[in-house]
Amino acid sequence: MVAVPVVAVVVAAQGTAQSDNAHGSAAATHCAARGVAYNTRPRGTSAFCAGVPPQCIRIVDSSLERRALFLHLLIMLSYRHAFHAGNHADVLKHAVVLQLLRYLGQKDKAYWYIDTHAGAGVYSLQEGYAVKTGEFQTGIARLWERNDLPSLFSDYVDEVAALNPDGQLRFYPGSPYIAWRQMREQDRMRLFELHTTEIDVLRHNFRDAGRRAMLYAGDGFDGILALLPPAPRRALILLDPSYEDKRDYTRTLRCVEESLKRFPTGTYAVWYPQVKRLESQRFPDQLKKLQERNWLHVSLTVSNPPTDGFGLFGSGMFILNPPYTLPKLLKDQMPWLVKALGEDKAAQFKVEYRGD
């Protein structure tokens, strides 16, 4: 097991990407204002990619397209996952991602982990955005002190506990952090993040990772296509946009479709929200059409839809080329999660699987 990167900024600093020194100063100032400790340990040598790879740069010709792209960026740059860190959707997503990574790690051959929307990597549950919403209280917090966890969720809670060695639930790991803890010397990580502040924090948290973790400040939908197929021909690709822009549903479908042409044997994990939006309701069936066989769909509904029509009441994970062991594991253990996280009588789960 490789060393886990030092967690530095857990409440994201405000501002745009700057030089290392400027970023450190801005982050320290912002964290001090919020009463959050900032790690000022000298940086080690790092090999992060600070720019957008050429393949991610798209020429926008028409004024209409420019306006559409500008609107998309505004929506993207207003979204911060810290508001939702550790909620019920994260519990499902990260428990599944962990099992996918551990399955890949059973063979000695190297694999890649690719994340289209990596976020900051680590989040504070005691300061900043997560405290404002308190969504983790009905997610990871409900599992934190349970002594009856089935293996799927015990493994997941162990990963969260590794970030909280004093036993207090202070920090929550994002997908990149969980993935990094599973990686071996031969494995590689490629992370994309478009939000200017999130990528700064992500770089800091992975500043000592070396060349095995490459970070890209850009659009993951476009960027991952240039990386496929990866050299070892083994990879987990996680696609988990916010879907606050409804075009993310279409972009995700197109990205997976194009990725399968380049790398048909990869494992693709697509997260999606359950919200009162037609695009969300249609999404699982659209994903099923991308590949006739060898897919797995699991969803968790925790409550009835909100009466005001807004808000998350569940989520799902759709996996293409999943491990053959995962469907039974989910069918056996998801009933426990429904009881642990369910809010009303509408709480339920679904597992659908079509093998080879």
Q: Could you give the residue numbers annotated as active site?
A: 240
Handedness of CA 254, 259, 265, 267 (dihedral sign): negative
297 labelled as ligand-binding?
Answer: no
Residue with tokens 């500043």: 207
Structural tokens at position 330: 């989910």
> Is 298 exposed, middle or buried, given 0-12, 13-18 or 19+ CB atoms closer than 10 A?
buried
158 labelled as ligand-binding?
Answer: no
- CA angle centred on 201, ends 196 and 204, rounded to 5°: 130
Structural tokens at position 92: 């499902």
348's CB contacts (< 8 A; 6+ apart) are 301, 338, 342
Handedness of CA 206, 212, 217, 223 (dihedral sign): negative
C-alpha to C-alpha distance for 105 and 236, rounded to whole angstroms: 11
Q: Which residue blocks in the chain are alpha helix, DSSP H? A: 20-33, 63-78, 88-104, 129-133, 140-144, 151-162, 175-182, 196-205, 220-223, 247-262, 278-288, 326-341
The long-range contacts involving 28-31, CB below 8 angstroms and separated by at least 24 positions, are none
219 labelled as ligand-binding?
Answer: yes
C-alpha to C-alpha distance for 333 and 98, rounded to whole angstroms: 15
- Rounded-to-10 torsion of CA 228, 230, 236, 242: -40
> Is 236 exposed, middle or buried, given 0-12, 13-18 or 19+ CB atoms closer than 10 A?
buried
94 labelled as ligand-binding?
Answer: yes
127 labelled as ligand-binding?
Answer: no
Query: Which helix H or strand E contains 215, and what residues bound it?
Result: strand 213-216
240 labelled as ligand-binding?
Answer: yes
Kindly report the backbone phi and psi dihedral angles of residue 259, in degrees, each rounded to the nearest multiple of 5, phi listed first.
-65, -40
218 labelled as ligand-binding?
Answer: no
Which residues line the annotated binding site for S-adenosyl-L-methionine?
94, 117, 175, 193, 219-220, 240
Q: Per the annotation, where are the binding residues? A: 94, 117, 175, 193, 219-220, 240
